[in-house]
Amino acid sequence: MSTIEKLGIDRMPPDERPQLIEEIWDSLSLAEDVEIPESHREELERRLDAADANPGAGSPWEEVLARLH
């Protein structure tokens, strides 16, 4: 039996589940309490530099979403 089943989440109406997700997220520690690996920081810096160097390379969210449908 999964945790979702044990907690009865699978029996919750779908429209109530996002609120539960938000409450669980809010219950987690603040980002300052979580140690971020140096490799993640380096990758973030690399991606930010790439975005700054070529700001037109990305696609608007609406366009990406349209391609997925």
pLDDT tens track for 10-65 = 999 999 999 999 999 888 866 667 788 999 999 999 999 999 999 899 899 999 99
User: What digits encode the pLDDT tens for the residues 40-55?
Assistant: 999 999 999 999 999 8
Domain boundaries, the chain: 3-68
Rg for the chain, CA atoms, rounded: 19
CA distance 50 to 1: 45
CA distances for 29 relative to 13, 15, 32, 41, 55, angstroms = 27, 26, 8, 19, 33
What local confidence, expressed as pLDDT, does residue 29 receive?
Answer: 67
